[in-house]
Amino acid sequence: MKVLTPRDERDALRLYRRNPDAFPLAGGTDLMVLWNAGLLNKKTILDLSGLRDWSRIRETPKGVWIGALATHAEIRTHPAIRERFPLLVDSCRTVGGRQIQNRGTLGGNIANASPAGDTFPALAVYAALVHTVSDNDRRVMPIDEIFAGVKKTHLKAGELIEGVELQTPPNPPSRWRFRKVGTRAAQAISKTVFAGQLWLGKDKVVDDVKLALGSVAPTVKRLRHVETHLTGRALDGKTIESALRLLPGDIHPIDDIRSTREYRLQVSRNLIRSFLMGR
Amino acid sequence: MPAVGQDKLRKEGPKKLTGAALYVDDIPVKGAWHGVTVRSTVPHARIKDIRFLKGFPWKQAVVVTAADIPGINCVRLIEDDQPLLADAITRHVHEPVALIAHPDRSAAYESLKFVEIEYEALPAALTIEESLRKKAILRGSDNVFKQFRIKKGDAAKAMKKAWKTVDTVFRVPHQEQAYIEPQGMVSWFEKDGTLVLLGSLQCPYYIVKAMQPIFGLPEEKIRVVQAVTGGGFGGKEEYPNMIAGHAALLARKAKRPIKMIYDRHEDMAVTTKRHPAVVRHRAGIDRKGKLVALDIDVVMDAGAYLTLSPVVLSRGVLHASGPYTCADVDIRARCVATNTPPNGAYRGFGAPQTLFAAELQWENLSEASKIDSLTLRERNLVKIGSELSTGQILKESVGLKKCLEVVVKRSAYAKRRKEHALWNKKKTAPTWRGIGLAAVHHGSGFTGNGEVFLKSRASLSLTKRGRFRIEAAASEIGQGSMSTLSQIVADALGVPYEWIDLEVNDTRRVPDSGPTVASRTCMVVGGLLHAAARDLKAAILAKTKKFPKTETELQAAAKALAAKGPLRFTRRFEKNTDIEFDDKTYRGDAYGSYGYAALAVDLEVDRTTYEVSVKKVWTAQDIGKAINPKIVEGQIMGGTLQALGWALLEKPVYKNGAMINNQLTNYIIPTAMDAPAMDVVLVEEPYSRGPFGAKGVGEMPMDIPAPAVCAAIRQATGLLFPEIPVTPESIAEALRRKK
Ligand SMILES: Cc1cc2nc3c(=O)[nH]c(=O)nc-3n(C[C@H](O)[C@H](O)[C@H](O)COP(=O)(O)OP(=O)(O)OC[C@H]3O[C@@H](n4cnc5c(N)ncnc54)[C@H](O)[C@@H]3O)c2cc1C
């Protein structure tokens, strides 16, 4: 195994351009699993620990900037995030256990692109923007567009995730909820994971609603069909049930070693229903 | 101050806490190469050829196949049916076929990619059902490795006369021991030809016995040493024989030490698991709720070879009727061969399988009779003078009633049941709640005449330097045996706990005190040491008149007493003449004593996700005497959590005869965050032949939670799951079906 240890951002981007097959190393919680399985034998590692600035979390005029190297523990304890982006706090709290939260980073979580990435539904309903950088380019992509499939992103060769931008919504939502349904109380891979925000207007009319699910498709899904159906309608049992019937158009759960298609679909439906009903 | 009954600090605790303890993979072994195993990939086939392909520098490696075995190709246990390396035929996926050693660990693993085995497929029986249907024949004419029958009275007639009867098929799956340290062994030959094995293991003398036929060596030329061992739970009872044989074969051919360490994936895929079982349980009660008939049929999946299955099955049948009296009983049990990796010892050893059925059946009887299951249990519990299914009359030390009373009271069982029933009626409640009960017994020590055949020996020495030294092959595997045995000896001698040492568990230095299994170490080995301590004390008193009071006095006395070597007293197990057991008819005193336990589980089922969250467990366990209460509580809490995992989380997924979720990411064992609050009460009904009254502790906690969990889920959801694990998926599906 060859390890490259750049001193700063410029150095890192230059080295990455020259070694496009290198594996960037952030917290290493995903990479160590590959390493243990022997999958990193003879590979090159690009150690990002020299990029100090990249772990910073700071408030911006429009919201919050989270450096790619910020850990789940740093995110879930940050005052501005706790105040304005509670769904992200709740999701970071469910990642692995304390040890994983202390090392694992948001950038690593995104770049790893697991269908079960627990922060993604929260990022999706906040319409998070992922900033990327390479030796000769900078790009900004909405979170739900960075994923290309299971464990695949649209990152180009030599391109790193620099950070994530969250914009504070003009009005706080009337209701919000994050819920992870894993295999056990900690160190669990999600069977389904939900995040939602709801803005109710007069007479319980839905002004706006943002819903997302993870682990029920190759990538995180905003539930556009369900959202569209709900928006502008009065939120009653009938509306909710008819919106829920559209759910299979938004997600594609499967049977696997951890759960069944049927369970994932049913529980996803239950999660959305109980959120919308305010239970 | 006496040591017994005190929470003495663990003898091995400081070393483990500070990281100074060396597990087998931590031990530097000069010049050692790494051994790896070539395994079959098909469940049943003729092996036509093994090819070592180009592309790997085979010259750097040593390769062993069945042809290199100097003696008999077997893993000797009860029988010799299991080959150490598959030769002409492979009978399960992952069966060892060849061994490779290389100086570099990753190169050794890399070499596996360059081995090709050519097979001619044979029909395979992968499940109990396929085995009974004779989809493939692996053993005799019907795949039955062993069968037992316990018959008392006339169960068929009694069933006909019963007021209410129930008939249910219960199923329990494999379970992985998931000890924290995977299997590992180091082996080398000494200049004088002695074969040495150093590893993670429970039963050093099993390995001595297993190596003899393979290498044609006499017992004296085999030396087995236990390294610090990171858990066993039965998983390191017999499997180490296999890995020891492999490491030794490589060491012999490579003429250098060999280290074989399994990683977690290999360990989970290939080593023994708890036997899956199907238990058809029929029971009848009379109008008073008295259990009048039991007709039970047990089938266990042994896997491809016999290993310890007959003994597991035996314990299973002996516990099948639960801790209750019933006049007319018929229990039939078989273990059958399947083309899957052999199953073996796991904490509880057959009893959790049959007790699951025995206990959960009370819920069905309760439904049939409209008498609650607690009342039914109370009417049938064993007490002193009761007769078990084998005709054994319980003469002493029966604390079951007390255990049940304690649990019912502390858990406010009746009150909670009522409250939960109300809560469950609320339409808007986010959960359903339930509380469930179970009661069990567990025979301490080996079954029947097992201890008599074992003839265990244990010694206590006074060394020249004035230390007392325990010499026994009892393996500390995290259960606290070092401390427990030291406390027994300390009080038998009347000296401080700190004066007691333990000899290294090395077959060259310690006598065969029997395997570290069957909840027997404290009771049986502790009993031998207690007797040896009395002998030693008498000998010291005879010489010194006044027993030494300080370490200085002891050192002075030792100089004289142990001048020519340690002053040693050895005790051998002696048959208890009050107990008789007939191995052929299964009549008589199956165990000298039983532990008893009751337990209640309070849980909630989430109505949105069907996840089960265990809120609290109350348990009371009659273990005779808690030599070290902290250790006993630890055993009970750990075993309880392990059993909660079996009941709710642990779902082994088998495909084509192999476990495919052989990783802790997908085979879900509970974490600390999954552990509920536990209220543990120790009940002490002393056993006259146990040291200070002690009986077995280790396994009972594993026997009892699963049926209590299912009973609680029954109250919560109205569904009785006769099969574990009860996962959120199975609850969701059952509720869908009910609609
Ligand atoms: C025991 C355990 C439990 C876990 N539990 C959860 C869980 O509950 N939920 C969950 O979502 N995840 C979980 N994970 C996965 C993992 O911890 C998270 O995905 C974590 O956020 C990864 O971050 P990291 O910094 O450790 O990534 P690393 O391992 O350092 O990197 C992960 C991947 O991203 C790439 N990468 C890292 N940083 C960048 C960057 N800035 N730009 C481009 N590419 C980059 C790496 O090359 C690698 O391919 C768990 C992992 C383990 C081992």
The residue length of chain B stands at 739
Task: State the Cα–Cα distance between residues B310 and B333, nearest whole angstrom.
Answer: 10
Q: Which of B380, B402, B168, B152 is nearest to B288 (CA)?
A: B380
Residue A113 C-alpha, separation from nearest chain B C-alpha, in angstroms:
17
Inter-chain contact A183–B608, Cβ cutoff 8 Å?
Answer: no
Report the residue of A181, A215, A276, A277 to disrupt the B interface, i.e. the one with the largest count of B CBs within 10 Å.
A181
DSSP tag of B627? S
Q: How far is CA B449 from the centre of its chain?
A: 19
Q: What is the DSSP string of A27-84?
A: S-TTHHHHHHTTTTTT-EEEEGGG-GGGG-EEE-SSEEEEETT-BHHHHHH-HHHHHH
Residue B577 has pLDDT above 90, yes or no: no
CA-nearest residue to B730 within chain A is A263
- Tokens, residue B235: 């998983």
**A279 reaches B (C-beta below 8 A):** yes
Could you tell me where in chain A the CATH 3.30.465.10 domains are found?
Answer: 2-167
Residue B65 C-alpha, separation from nearest chain A C-alpha, in angstroms:
26
Q: Ligand 1 within 6 A of A118 CB?
A: yes
CA-nearest residue to A35 within chain B is B106
- The β-bridge relationship of strands B195-199 and B291-303 is unpaired
Backbone angles phi, psi at B630, to 5 degrees: -60, -45
Inter-chain contact A41–B106, Cβ cutoff 8 Å?
Answer: yes
- Amino acid identity for residue B261 in this structure: I
As beta bridge partners, residue A211 has: A196
Task: State the Cα–Cα distance between residues B537 and B696, nearest whole angstrom.
Answer: 26
Contacts 24+ apart (CB under 8 A), B672-676: B672/A186, B673/A97, B673/A184, B673/A185, B673/A186, B674/A184, B674/A185, B674/A186, B674/B614, B674/B641, B674/B644, B674/B645, B674/B649, B675/B637, B675/B641, B676/B614, B676/B615, B676/B616, B676/B617, B676/B644
A38 vs B109, B430, B673: nearest CB: B109
CA-nearest residue to B105 within chain A is A38
As beta bridge partners, residue B296 has: B281, B331
pLDDT tens for B509-550 read 999 999 999 999 999 999 999 999 999 999 999 998 899 999
Q: Which of B149, B155, B170 is nearest to B313 (CA)?
A: B149
SS3 B673: helix
Could you tell me where in chain A the CATH 3.30.390.50 domains are found?
Answer: 175-276
pTM of the model: 0.97
User: How far, in Å, from the CA of B419 to the mean position of ligand 1?
Assistant: 45
SS3 B738: helix
Tens place of pLDDT per residue across chain A (279 aa) = 899 999 999 999 999 999 999 999 999 999 999 998 889 999 999 999 999 999 999 999 999 999 999 999 999 999 999 999 999 999 999 999 999 999 999 999 999 999 999 999 999 999 999 999 999 999 999 999 999 999 999 999 999 999 999 999 999 999 999 999 999 999 999 999 999 999 999 999 999 999 999 999 999 999 999 999 999 999 999 999 999 999 999 999 999 999 999 999 999 999 999 999 998
ipTM reported for the complex, 2 dp: 0.96
SS (H, E, C) B567-626: EEEEEECCCCCCCCEECCCCEECCCCCEEEEEEEEEEEEECCCCCEEEEEEEEEEECCCC
The residue length of chain A stands at 279
B143, B137 Cβ separation under 8 angstroms: yes
- Tokens, residue A192: 């389904």
Q: What is the mean pLDDT of residues B290-301?
A: 98
Q: How far is CA A143 from the centre of its chain?
A: 7
As beta bridge partners, residue A45 has: A3, A23
- pLDDT for the residue B578: 85
Q: How far is CA B102 from the centre of its chain?
A: 34
- pLDDT for the residue B448: 87
A279 vs B430, B653, B666: nearest CB: B430
Q: Which of B615, B378, B475, B673 is nearest to A183 (CA)?
A: B673
- The β-bridge relationship of strands B195-199 and B222-226 is parallel
The residue to mutate among A30, A138, A159, A219, having the most atoms of ligand 1 within 8 angstroms of its beta carbon, is A30
Task: State the Cα–Cα distance between residues B639 and B643, nearest whole angstrom.
Answer: 6
Inter-chain contact A257–B109, Cβ cutoff 8 Å?
Answer: no
User: How far, in Å, from the CA of B673 to the mean position of ligand 1?
Assistant: 22
User: Which residue has 């396994």 as its token pair?
Assistant: B699
Domains in chain B, start-ordered, CATH in brackets? 24-122+183-261 (3.90.1170.50), 277-446+586-738 (3.30.365.10), 450-572 (3.30.365.10)
- The sign of the CA dihedral B97, B101, B104, B107 is negative
Residue B56 has pLDDT above 90, yes or no: yes
The residue to mutate among A13, A15, A25, A29, having the most atoms of ligand 1 within 8 angstroms of its beta carbon, is A29
Q: Give the residue, by CA position, lying nearest to ligand 1 atom 31.
A: A108
Task: State the Cα–Cα distance between residues B469 and B486, nearest whole angstrom.
Answer: 9
**A42 reaches B (C-beta below 8 A):** no
Task: State the Cα–Cα distance between residues B725 and B711, nearest whole angstrom.
Answer: 13
Q: What is the DSSP string of B231-291?
A: --TTTTTSHHHHHHHHHHHHHHHHTS-EEEE--HHHHHHHS--PPPEEEEEEEEE-TT--E
DSSP tag of B49? E
SS3 B83: coil
- Amino acid identity for residue B725 in this structure: P
CA-nearest residue to A179 within chain B is B609
- Amino acid identity for residue B715 in this structure: Q
**A185 reaches B (C-beta below 8 A):** yes
Q: Is B491 left (phi over 0), alpha (psi -120 to 50) or beta?
A: alpha
DSSP tag of A206? E
User: How far, in Å, from the CA of A148 to the mean position of ligand 1?
Assistant: 17
B87, B73 Cβ separation under 8 angstroms: yes
Query: Which residues of A are less than 8 Å from B610 in CB distance?
Result: 263, 267
Q: Which of B486, B487, B413 is nearest to B2 (CA)?
A: B487
- Amino acid identity for residue B66 in this structure: A
- The β-bridge relationship of strands A160-167 and A129-134 is antiparallel
**A258 reaches B (C-beta below 8 A):** yes
How many C-beta atoms surround the C-beta of residue B53 within 10 A? 11
- pLDDT for the residue A54: 97
Q: Give the residue, by CA position, lying nearest to ligand 1 atom 46.
A: A24
Task: State the Cα–Cα distance between residues B389 and B716, nearest whole angstrom.
Answer: 33
Q: What is the mean pLDDT of residues B633-644?
A: 98
**Number of H-type helices and E-type strands within chain B:** 20, 27
Q: What is the mean pLDDT of residues B277-302?
A: 98
Q: Which of B224, B484, B440, B437 is nearest to B315 (CA)?
A: B440
- Tokens, residue A230: 């709900």
Task: State the Cα–Cα distance between residues B712 and B720, nearest whole angstrom.
Answer: 9
- pLDDT for the residue B739: 83
- Angle at which helix B728-738 crosses helix B705-717, to 10 degrees, equals 40
B33, B259 Cβ separation under 8 angstroms: yes
Q: How far is CA B467 from the centre of its chain?
A: 33
User: How far, in Å, from the CA of A152 to the mean position of ligand 1?
Assistant: 13
**A136 reaches B (C-beta below 8 A):** no
Mean pLDDT, chain B, rounded, equals 97
Report the residue of A39, A263, A270 to disrupt the B interface, i.e. the one with the largest count of B CBs within 10 Å.
A263
Q: What is the DSSP string of A147-190?
A: EEETTEE-PPTT-EEEEEEEE--SS--SEEEEEEE-SSSSS---
SS3 B471: strand
Q: Ligand 1 within 6 A of A134 CB?
A: no
- Angle at which helix B526-544 crosses helix B551-561, to 10 degrees, equals 80
- Tokens, residue B608: 């949105």
The residue to mutate among A95, A102, A162, having the most atoms of ligand 1 within 8 angstroms of its beta carbon, is A95
Q: Ligand 1 within 6 A of A12 CB?
A: no
Task: State the Cα–Cα distance between residues B135 and B133, nearest whole angstrom.
Answer: 6
Edge-first strand listing for the sheet containing B612-622: B431-443, B594-606, B612-622, B677-683
- pLDDT for the residue B579: 87
Fold for A2-167, please state it. 3.30.465
Q: Which CATH number fits domain A175-276: 1.20.210.10, 1.10.645.10, 3.30.390.50, 3.30.70.260?
A: 3.30.390.50
- Amino acid identity for residue B534 in this structure: R
Inter-chain contact B732–A267, Cβ cutoff 8 Å?
Answer: yes
**Alpha-helical regions (H) of B80-186:** 105-111, 128-132, 155-161
CA-nearest residue to B648 within chain A is A184
Q: Ligand 1 within 6 A of A33 CB?
A: yes
Dihedral, CA of residue B49, residue B55, residue B60 and residue B64, to nearest 10: -10
Q: Give the residue, by CA position, lying nearest to ligand 1 atom 41.
A: A161
Residue B576 binned pLDDT confidence (cut-offs 50, 70, 90): confident
Task: State the Cα–Cα distance between residues B665 and B661, nearest whole angstrom.
Answer: 8
Q: Which of A211, A202, A212 is nearest to A232 (CA)?
A: A202
Closest atom of ligand 1 to A29 CA is 26
- pLDDT for the residue B545: 83
Q: Which of B296, B365, B300, B360 is nearest to B335 (CA)?
A: B300
Strands (E), B414-518: 431-443, 457-462, 468-471, 500-502
